Each structure stands twice: as structure tokens, then as C-alpha cells.
Amino acid sequence: MQEHDRRDGAEGAQAGAGEEGRPLSDRVAAAWMQGWAHYYKEASDLLCVSSAKGFFLDLNPAWERALGYSVAEMCRGSFLDLIHPDDLEHSRQALARVAVGDTALGDLVNRYRRKDGTYASIAWKSVVMVGELCYCMAQDVSAQEETEAILRKERARLHQLQHASGVVLYAIGSLAGGMPGITFISDNLRDVLGYKPEEFFEDRELWNRMVHPDDLARALDGTPIFAHGFYLREYRFRHKDGSYRWMRDETKLVKDAEGRPFEAVGTWQDVTERKEVEHTLQQQENALLELSTPLIPISDEILVMPLIGMVDSRRAEQIMSTILDGITARRAKVAILDITGMGSVDTKIAELLLRTARAARLLGVEVLLTGIRPDVAQTLVTLGVDLGAVVTFGTLQAGIQHAMRRSSAPSRR
């Protein structure tokens, strides 16, 4: 049966040797057959002749490389025996269509068992019917499918990581010319800000409109990225639900082969919770700062500020502003700075005390410095600090008594 089909195939091949009904010369025919034989042998495509009943009649060597069987082994039985069970039904349906002259296979791919037991994915590209014979061309797409499977797995993993991390990826194109616009944005945007990616593609101005007006100038400033190739900023962006979220936006500039700006790629991350924590901590720090610089009214005209612990630059500013604001608000005549609770006094603290005293005197207020211990006095002398017109006392009690006497003394006319 197979030998008869082979002869039919050979006769069919000879019958097809003519061009537009004209016989070829022996010389041209020989060259054509030689070229065909070489192509048939060396082609990477899978070429075969089969019967419509499911038997291979001849195959080129590419099949041996793809499946590991010899041509004789593959021609010994029905090729349906080599097809994966899950692909058998649609393969039979395709073979039945070919048997009645329908050679449009579409995207037919089926798996053939290799000699080592694994399966190769075979994609059928074309079928030509000549009598009862099928002349077929296919390709081994196993490597391609494996690559696609790896890519699908990696995309799924990236998708999972994006959704888990909450980091939105984006790209902005047309930096070299034309109107810049978002060319890519990851689909976890909906999880973070409630928008679908296509909303940004369809409306180029959406991003600008959603940035908080107070932050827009900073968010739109492209100077740093063109100057340094990188830009990090934080701004408020309106969520789809109408609320504002703090976004951390990191952008990196991509250049083409000639060094021209080509694209900007970046990440968006919702840092609202961090900002809220920072705001809360700032409020707590401000409250502690106010507690560390209390202003105590002794009378309508006398204020006392006890200084305790270390004084940094921020606390120094707080001391200055608190005492001056208190003097103005209460119209005090005497302000007492008590340094009893300070562990040590250095040049910076001494300068702070002098600046505060000078500022208070400009408001018409006398400043007293109390709590001057012997070691503090020695330090001030060693540092060469001149307290000038600042009146000093060893204890807060002595300073208050002095202030009370000055306050109760009748003013001179």
C-alpha cells in the first residue's frame, strides 16, 4: 500500500515538472530536480508527502532532526500514532478536511512524540493536494513555544510583583521632537490611582490636570532630568475617587545612539501613608519643641524661659521666636533666660543668648540671665564671651526678685 502511494507521489511530481503546460528540456529538468533534491535534503522546514489516510510516504531529513526517528520508522505506521492524545481530535478533523480538498489549515499546531518521549510542537504552514497525495510543509516551533511560555511566565511574575509592590511603571516618548506623551503605563495603575492606562493614552492632558495645583510647577519642571539624567520629586495627584495621594515620581532619561534625549522611563509609588506619618511626627516634634521652650509669665510684665538640655539650630530659632512673640503679646518689661538646666554652655549657646538679649532690648525689654554656675562662668570667660549689658544672676530666684523690684519701682518722670 505504501509503495503504491510512493509511486503515485513520484508520478505526481513528474507531472508537475512542466511550466504552464510546456515540457521542460532534459537539461533544465535535471537542474530543477537537482536543485529540488538539494533543497529537500538541506531545508530546515519540515517537508513531507503523506496520504490522506494518515500515513507518511516520504519525509526530508529535518524530520529526523526534529523527532529523532529515521524516515523509515516514521513511515512504518500512521502518523496519528505519534500525535499527543490531547491534539488527536482536532488533527483528525484537519485531516478529514484535507481529504475532501480543504487545504486551509489555519493555525494548526499539534504535538508529535519524539523518540525520547518528549513532544515537539509542529506548526503546519501549507498543504497541496495532488491526486490522493498531500505535499506538506511544517515547522518545528517547540523552541518558540518554550520561549513564549517563559515570557508568559515572566510577564505573569512581573504583573504579580507590580500589583504586590504598588509601583507603577511608565514611559514618556517623543522627547526628541513632537509632543511628549505617555507611551506606556503598567496596568496596576488602576490599583494605585483608580485609572485605566488607556485613559492616559487618550487624554494627554489628564496627568497635568490631576496634579495638585500647588505642586504642578515642581512636578512639571523638566530641568533636572535634562541636566542630570535623573529626577526625583514628590507631589500630590488626584485619585479617581477625588482624593489626593502623595506620589513619589522617579524618572530616568534614555538617550539614543547619538546622545539625544529619546525617552523618559520612570516609576510612580503611592507614599501617602509615609507622608502622613511624617506629618504626624512633625507635629509631635513641634509640640515637643514648644514644651522644651516654655514661656512662663511671672506677672503681667515679667516672663521666664527656662532652658533645659541641648540646643540645636532649630531649637535656637524656636527660643528666639517664642520669647519675642511672648514679649510682644504680653507687653512684658523683663525677660529672664534661665540656663540652670543646661548641662554646658559653648560659643553657639552664648551667641544665641546674646542675640536674644539684643533683639529683646530692641523691643524695650530688659533681659536677665540666671543660673550662671561657677563652671559656666569659667567657660564663658575662657571662650571670651562678653555678655555686655546682660544682667546675670547665679539663681533663678535672685533674678525673679530683681525683676520684681524693677517692675514695682515707680517710673522716673
Residue 269 shares a structural domain with residue 297? no
Residue 132 shares a structural domain with residue 14? yes
Q: What is the pLDDT of residues 361-411, one digit of tens each?
A: 889 888 898 888 888 888 778 877 777 778 889 898 998 998 888 777 655
Domain contains 149: no
How far is the C-alpha of 218 from the C-alpha of 259, rounded, in Å?
Answer: 26
Q: What is the pLDDT of residues 326-335, one digit of tens each?
A: 888 888 889 8
| Residue 179 confidence (pLDDT) | 60
Residue 256 shares a structural domain with residue 356? no
Domain contains 413: no
Domain contains 124: yes
Residue 131 shares a structural domain with residue 252? no
Domain contains 335: yes
Residue 269 shares a structural domain with residue 298? no
Which residue is listed with cell 514695682?
408
Domain contains 285: no
Q: Amino acid identity, residue 20?
A: E
Q: Is the pTM of this model over 0.75?
A: no
Domain that holds residue 167: 159-275
Q: What is the pLDDT of residues 167-198, one digit of tens each?
A: 999 998 876 555 678 889 998 999 999 999 99
Q: How many domains does the chain have?
A: 3
pLDDT cut 70: percent of the chain above it: 89
Residue pair 322/292 in contact (Cβ under 8 Å)? The answer is no
Mean pLDDT of 97-124: 89
CATH of the domain at 309: 3.30.750.24
pLDDT at 16 over 50: no
Q: What is the pLDDT of residues 209-265, one digit of tens each?
A: 999 999 999 888 877 888 888 889 999 999 999 999 999 999 999 988 888 888 889
Residue 219 shares a structural domain with residue 97? no
What angle is formed at CA 131 by the lines to CA 100 and CA 141, rounded to 5 degrees? 70
Domain end, chosen from 242, 275, 308, is at 275
CATH of the domain at 232: 3.30.450.20
Query: What are the cell numbers at 138?
Result: 511544517
Strand 302-308 to 334-341 pairing = parallel
Residue pair 367/390 in contact (Cβ under 8 Å)? The answer is yes
Mean pLDDT value across the chain: 83
